[in-house]
Amino acid sequence: MKNQNIREAYSEIFSSHDQPSLEKHIQKLIELDTFLPYSSTFFCITNTQDLTFEYVSKNIKACLGLDADEVKSKGMRYFWSRMHPEDLDLWLHALSDLMKFTLNEINVEDRSKMTYTWNYRLKNNNDEYVNIVQNTTPLEFDSGSKPIIGLAHYTVLVPEINLQICASAKLLNGQNEYETVYYNNLSQKLLSEGITNRERDIIRLLVLNHSSKMIGEKLNISSNTVDTHRRNILKKLNISSTGELVGMIKMNTNLI
C-alpha cells in the first residue's frame, strides 16, 4: 500500500472538524510493563488530526535506533513508511474497527476511561523488522467526542516472535481496573474454543499475581465465579495449573 493511500485511509478513520487542545493526562498507565522489560518501551503523544507526534520519548533510540527529534519532525507518515507492507491493511482494519466500536458502543462519558492495544511490525535503524505492541490511552477529544490526541506506549519485541495481529479495547471500571470490552484477532482465531473477554481479564490479573478474591473485587464478581473461570481457562488451553498458564502468557501476550 502506498503512503498516500495509507494517509487517506488513516485520515478517514480519525477525521474530525475542530482542533483539540492538549490537556494534562492523569492517572494509571497500563500495567504491561509487568510482562516486559522496561528497556523495550518508549512513549509518544500522538495527534491523529494533524498526523504528528506532540512528543517522542528519548528511549526510542534504545528501542529502535531512531532519533526522537527526527521522528517527531517527520511525523506519522515517516513512522508508517517503516511499517511492514504485509501488516498495513490489517493495521488500518484494526484501527477502523476500534474507532467504530468506540463511537457505537462506548458512552461519551466513558471514552476518557478507554485504552486500546494493537500490534504490527516496524523496521528499525538496522533495516530489521521488529514486533511493536502499541497501547494508546486517549488524552483529548474533538467536539464529536472522537479521540484525537493520545498517549501511546510502544513495546518492542524481537522479530523471532511470530505475533498474530490483534486489537483490543479495555474500559476502566469503578474499582480502577481495566475490563476487556473488545477483542479481535485479525490474523486468525487464537483458540478454536475461544477465550472470552472476561477470561482475558482474569488471565491478565492472574499474571499480576492477584488471588481469586482480589480479582473478584476488581471485576465485581464473586471469588467462586473467578475460580470457575480459572478452571474453564485451564481446560480450554489444555494445561494443568495456573503456574503453567502464567508461563504461557508471558510467551504469548496476544491472549490478553
Give 62-114 pLDDT, tens digit per residue: 999 999 999 999 999 899 999 998 888 888 888 888 988 999 999 999 999 99
Could you give the CA distance from residue 171 to residue 106 in angstroms, rounded to a whole number? 9
Give pLDDT, residue 104.
Answer: 92
Residue 140 CA, distance from chain mean position: 17
> What is the C-alpha separation between 97 and 58, in angstroms, rounded?
31
Residue 52 vs residue 34, higher pLDDT: 52
Per-residue confidence (pLDDT) for residue 5, from 0 to 100: 76
Q: Residue 208's pLDDT is what?
A: 82
Domains defined along the chain, listed by start = 1-16+29-186 (3.30.450.20), 189-256 (1.10.10.10)
Sequence letter at residue 41:
T
Distances in Å between the alpha carbon of 15 and those of 28, 52, 226?
Answer: 27, 14, 41
Average pLDDT, the chain: 82
Q: Is 153 exposed, middle or buried (0-12, 13-18, 19+ CB in 10 A)?
A: buried
Q: State yes or no: pLDDT of 30 exceeds 50.
A: no
Q: Which residue has the higher pLDDT, 25 or 52?
A: 52
Q: Which pLDDT belongs to residue 234?
A: 83
Grid cell 492472574 is found at: 206
| pLDDT score, position 165 | 87
Per residue in 138-184, pLDDT tens?
Answer: 988 888 888 888 999 999 998 888 888 889 999 998 888 889 999 98
Q: Given CA atoms 70, 72, 76, 79 in this order, what sign does their dihedral have?
A: positive
CB 121 within 8 A of CB 39: no
Please tell me the predicted confidence (pLDDT) of residue 126: 95
Tell me the mean pLDDT in the region 122-132.
96
